[in-house]
Structure formats: C-alpha cells, structure tokens
Chain A
C-alpha cells in the first residue's frame, strides 16, 4: 500500500528508456517517502524477457502481465490492468512516460480513478502543502512541476486529496542509473483474465510500422539547434552542415518546427526532446521557458542571436551577437581551418 508505481512501456520485448529513467526517479521518491518502488509491465511473450531490464533500477516488486492481445498496445486492456491493480494496491504515486502510449493511457486511468494527472513534468519533488481555503496541512505530497501556458510560466501542481498522484515525464528529462542500494526484486505474474474482460480487446491494430530513430539527438555530444531566427528551411541546411562538421545533431525550437523548417522529432523543449550535450549551439533561438527546459543542463551553451537581449543569452557561456546567416558559415570555415 502507498507505494510508488512506474508503468513500464515496451516495444516487443524491449523496455523503453523513458521507463528506466522513471524507475530511477521513482526509486529516489520511494526512498524519500520510505516506501517501496513497484513496476508494472504488460505485453505479449514478455515473461522471462523484460525482468532484467526493469529490476536493476531498484524495483522492490514487479508485476508482469503477459497475454495475447496486450501487444501492440491498445487503450482499454492496459487501462483495465492499471485501474484494477491500483484498486488492490492503492499506490500514492504513479509515473509514466509522456509518450504516445503514456499520454493515451494516463488520462484514461486518472479519469477512471478520479485522480489528478499532470502531463509533461520537468521536475518531481516531495514537499508539503497548505490549503488556504480549508486550512488543511498536507505533508509529503508529490510536487509536479512543469512549464505551463505556452512555456511562459512554471507551475507546481499538487493533488492533495486524490490517489494515486499521477504524472507523465518526457524521455530524457530524468537520467537512468542502475540502483546501487538494496531492493527486494520480487516478480509476480498475475492472471490477466482476472484484470481484463475479454470484450475490452475492442480496438484492432491492422498494420504497424515502427522505424528505428533516424538520428540520435538525445544522446548527441554536440547539438546545433535552430529557432525562428534561422528564417527558412534553407537556413536549416546550413545548421546541418555545421552539425556534420562537428559530428553533432540538429535540433529545433517549437517555433521552427511549427514553421515547417524542421521535423517534429527534432524539437527540443518541454514538449519535445530533452538533451544534455557537451556543447549546445543555439542559432536564432530566443529562449522561451519551454525550450530552456529541454536544454538547460547542457555543458557549454553558445547563443547566436542578433538580439543581444534574447532571454537565452542569460544562460549562455558565449553570446555571439550577429545573424545566423552571417555567423554559422564562419563557424564552419574556421572549424575546418583549425581542426586537425
């Protein structure tokens, strides 16, 4: 009872990295609250294949639901599993990836349990809360912290009265690490038919194509990111050249993605990818909070902007005042001349 749960997402028999990142975070929260970390995973033919990808992250108890029809994911059976399991287990916290699956499943579960859910959190902490209206003092609540309102502010959300306190977190926001402390590492295999009525396998997946990611933006040591100041799709070609020279990857701000200059999967920020590169070169990015949330932990930040007052300059190590058009070709030129 009252434990911390993480829903582990899978592709075939591979556990998603974001789920492992959340297990590491979940372990820390469980230690702070002095409770156990539990994990739940559901799929087809996963028994014996997923345990070693989950238990090392400090899991005390793992629930493996293995049955036909649980992979590929569809909404209703996975909802049934979580809702019925949570009715038995009464967790206080449930975390899941802010992926397509997590964002499909989380709201359905929260609606069924009438518990609160906060999407796309960038930080999770434990703390107290005073309800001014009722005068009630709450201890050890989950602070769900996220940029809100188009990234113009940062809000701390709490769910004082409803359990579990649910939150989704994007891939890359938390860092995964094998747990070095002691965990119970128990695994159980519940009978799926007791959790999912047969008539809930209602949506049929007719066809499915999943491709390996075309780039490794999340893990790239150097990221060249473009914003609205890049000005055009052609402008982005220049960023690709620079990234190629530096053996890095190209990212983009939401404004540049919305303008159609870069693919959606290159978006950096709260509603995109979070990166932690050694060097982050921000080209024509003003630096909205929602973008900063996805790159502020970069090693060295270089900002190229013709506006010396651009908010991103405040967190930059090097500020180059100039246009992207002017500066990026020079970076390429002098890198070629001086490297090796």
Chain B
C-alpha cells in the first residue's frame, strides 16, 4: 500500500558550540546567535521514513518543520536525501513555544496536510532533550504512538511492526496506522545527500527567505517545486492563544550560569612520585581499599 509519511524535523542550535549571547533576557534561546543544524535524531527518523517509502511503492515523504524562515534549510536537506515535499510553519505567533504549544502547532498542520499514515520524528531534540513533542502530537491527533524506535520492521495490513528500546532491553510492538513514531539516535544513520537531488532543489526556498533582488525570480515561475510551502497560524486554522508563548503552560522563572562552588583542591602533576603519594594517601585514609 502507498503511505503518506510526514517527518517532523527541527532546526536546532548546535549546543556543542554555545557562546555568551545564547540566551535572551526572557530566558528563551537566542537562536540567531548560534549555528543551526538538522536535529540529529530527526535524521535517523528521516532514514526510516525513506526506507518505508522505498518498500511501499507510491508512498510520499514530506518534511514538516516549525521555525524562522531559515529553518527551510531542514526541508531542503530532506529533499536532497529523497523526500518529496515539505511544509514550513513560520509565524511570529509561534515564537517562544514550549513543547505543548509546539505540538499544538504541529498537530494543526498535520490535520491540514490530511490523510497521513505515519508521522515520524526523532526521539528528542538536542536543544531541549525533552522527548515530549512526539507523544504530545500523538495525543492531540488521537493517534497511537511508539517511542524509542530502533527500526520499522514490517508494514502489513495497515499495521506497523516496530522494534524499540525499553529500559534494560528491547521489545517488538505492533501498532495500527495512523501512528506517531519517534526514533533513537542509535537507529540506522541517514543516507547522504544525492547529488542530482541537490542540483534539483538547491534553489528551493520558502517565500519569506527571498529578497526582492533575487537573481532567480524567473526560475521560480518555471519550476513550481522550487517554492516551498509556508504556513502561518492562520493558514493552518490555528488558535493564536494556543500557539507560542501564550500557549505554553511552562514559564522560565530563572536562568543562571552555574558557578561551581570551588573546593580546596590539591594539585598534582602526573609524575611517578606524585601519583604514588596520592595512592598511599588514599590507602592510608581508607578512601580506597
């Protein structure tokens, strides 16, 4: 059977390279100050989606992302690897969303996309590590969910068989579709970009990314696939009260940089004498046995 697959992907600040201006005064993330990357576990999810598409001829994969206009890069990265389409949810009203407001926005977009069989994303994003958005989207759409997935093993009779991690082990579950699946970073890595697809889609942009003096204006008229779908809150019939900061029950009370309480420490070198003295001291004080 052919499947309509939506990949939930997020552009995230690369938290491995964080500077001092990383946070705003309100305690939310200042995304503009940081290098932005495709959330790693969403890449694992994309690979599972592309495999499912290959095994089920006639299927399509679309990338759904929410963020500022530059987050359209996530859609391009998906198209380069074999996705068919994408949707960028972008609106100032979406800004400052916690996981609940984010899942509300994604769920309304999925309703607008319509008739989706599989919604798949990474287990969690590296900027929050919460793992909440997948299950919250599933609940909002009234769908079943399989989290911590390692591999989609089978798609038969409108049901998926999925191997997933649990604490201390693994289990295999069978779920009806439509379903929301979240994928671990230990799942199969995503395939690289396909050179032909890069050539085809490298000028694909969302309207908000474009400036008036774009040299390729005529290209967008000739090739409609180079215009990425871009949706505002109104486009997905969203309730502004449930989006962004106003739709977020959690508030950041305080943010602080940790100052470690300095201890009085002994400083040693790696010399034989220093190490032997340390071991003798620890043994004498019965700290080690």
A: residues with CB less than 8 A from B are 11, 72, 74-76, 79, 99-101, 103-108, 110-112, 114-120, 129, 131, 143-144, 147-162, 202-213, 222, 246-247, 264, 270-271, 278-279, 289, 292, 299-302, 304, 308, 311, 313-323, 326-327, 330-331, 334-335, 337-339
Contact of A203 with B269 in the complex, beta carbons under 8 Å:
no
- Residues of chain B lying within 8 A (CB to CB) of residue A156: 252-255
Counting chain B CB atoms within 10 Å of each CB, the highest count among A107, A151, A155, A205 belongs to A107
A220 to B171, CA, bound (A): 28
B207 at the interface (CB under 8 A from A): no
A111 to B106, CA, bound (A): 13
- Residues of chain B lying within 8 A (CB to CB) of residue A148: 128, 255
Contact of B258 with A161 in the complex, beta carbons under 8 Å:
no
Given contacts A319-B265, A319-B267, contact A118 B140 (CB under 8 A): no
Interface residue from B168, B253, B274 paired with A157 (Cβ < 8 Å): B253
Contact of B269 with A320 in the complex, beta carbons under 8 Å:
yes
Question: Among the listed stretches B48-56, B73-81, B226-234, B275-283, which one makes contact with chain A, having 4 or more residues with CB under 8 Å of it?
Answer: B275-283
- Residues of chain B lying within 8 A (CB to CB) of residue A313: 265
Contact of A322 with B135 in the complex, beta carbons under 8 Å:
no
Contact of A106 with B132 in the complex, beta carbons under 8 Å:
yes
B196 at the interface (CB under 8 A from A): no
B: residues with CB less than 8 A from A are 13, 15-16, 18, 22-23, 27, 29, 98-100, 103, 126-136, 138-140, 144-148, 161, 165-176, 186, 248-258, 260-263, 265-270, 272, 274-276, 278-280, 282-283, 287-289
Contact of A211 with B29 in the complex, beta carbons under 8 Å:
no
A289 to B15, CA, bound (A): 13
Contact of A213 with B168 in the complex, beta carbons under 8 Å:
yes
- Residues of chain B lying within 8 A (CB to CB) of residue A101: 166-167
The 7 closest A-B pairs by CB, nearest first: A322-B270, A150-B15, A116-B249, A116-B250, A107-B132, A210-B169, A111-B136
A103 to B15, CA, bound (A): 22
Contact of B263 with A100 in the complex, beta carbons under 8 Å:
no
Contact of A157 with B251 in the complex, beta carbons under 8 Å:
yes
Contact of B250 with A158 in the complex, beta carbons under 8 Å:
yes
A302 to B139, CA, bound (A): 47
Given contacts A99-B167, A315-B263, A327-B270, contact A111 B135 (CB under 8 A): yes
Contact of A104 with B145 in the complex, beta carbons under 8 Å:
yes
Contact of B288 with A320 in the complex, beta carbons under 8 Å:
no
Further 6 A-B residue pairs, CB within 8 A, beyond A117-B250, A204-B175, A206-B161: A116-B248, A153-B258, A156-B255, A319-B267, A331-B279, A338-B276
A255 to B176, CA, bound (A): 37
Interface residue from B23, B103, B168, B174 paired with A210 (Cβ < 8 Å): B168
Interface residue from B134, B147, B248, B287 paired with A279 (Cβ < 8 Å): B287
Contact of A321 with B270 in the complex, beta carbons under 8 Å:
yes
Nearest Cβ on chain A to B224's Cβ, whole angstroms:
36
Contact of B148 with A247 in the complex, beta carbons under 8 Å:
no
Nearest Cβ on chain B to A245's Cβ, whole angstroms:
9
- Residues of chain A lying within 8 A (CB to CB) of residue B140: 111
- Residues of chain A lying within 8 A (CB to CB) of residue B18: 149-150, 152
- Residues of chain B lying within 8 A (CB to CB) of residue A107: 99, 103, 130-136, 139
A-B contact pairs, 12 of them (CB 8 A): A103-B131, A149-B29, A151-B15, A156-B254, A157-B251, A202-B175, A318-B266, A319-B267, A320-B268, A320-B274, A327-B270, A338-B280
Nearest Cβ on chain A to B173's Cβ, whole angstroms:
5
Nearest Cβ on chain A to B278's Cβ, whole angstroms:
6
Nearest Cβ on chain B to A141's Cβ, whole angstroms:
8
Given contacts A110-B100, A116-B98, A161-B249, contact A203 B174 (CB under 8 A): yes
**CB nearest to A171 among chain B residues:** B167
- Residues of chain A lying within 8 A (CB to CB) of residue B13: 149
Contact of A211 with B172 in the complex, beta carbons under 8 Å:
no
A105 to B258, CA, bound (A): 31
Interface residue from A158, A311, A321, A335 paired with B288 (Cβ < 8 Å): A335
- Residues of chain B lying within 8 A (CB to CB) of residue A152: 15, 18, 22, 257
A79 to B147, CA, bound (A): 14
Interface residue from A120, A153, A157, A207 paired with B256 (Cβ < 8 Å): A153
Contact of B260 with A315 in the complex, beta carbons under 8 Å:
yes
Contact of A150 with B126 in the complex, beta carbons under 8 Å:
yes
A211 to B126, CA, bound (A): 28
Contact of A104 with B147 in the complex, beta carbons under 8 Å:
yes
A155 to B27, CA, bound (A): 8
**CB nearest to A314 among chain B residues:** B260
**CB nearest to B245 among chain A residues:** A133
- Residues of chain A lying within 8 A (CB to CB) of residue B16: 150
- Residues of chain B lying within 8 A (CB to CB) of residue A206: 161, 171-174
A103 to B147, CA, bound (A): 9
- Residues of chain B lying within 8 A (CB to CB) of residue A322: 269-270
- Residues of chain A lying within 8 A (CB to CB) of residue B274: 320
Given contacts A108-B145, A153-B257, contact A118 B186 (CB under 8 A): no
Contact of B288 with A162 in the complex, beta carbons under 8 Å:
no
- Residues of chain A lying within 8 A (CB to CB) of residue B174: 203-204, 206
**CB nearest to B268 among chain A residues:** A320
Given contacts A311-B260, A318-B265, A319-B267, contact A334 B275 (CB under 8 A): yes
A331 to B288, CA, bound (A): 12
- Residues of chain B lying within 8 A (CB to CB) of residue A209: 169-171
Nearest Cβ on chain A to B148's Cβ, whole angstroms:
5
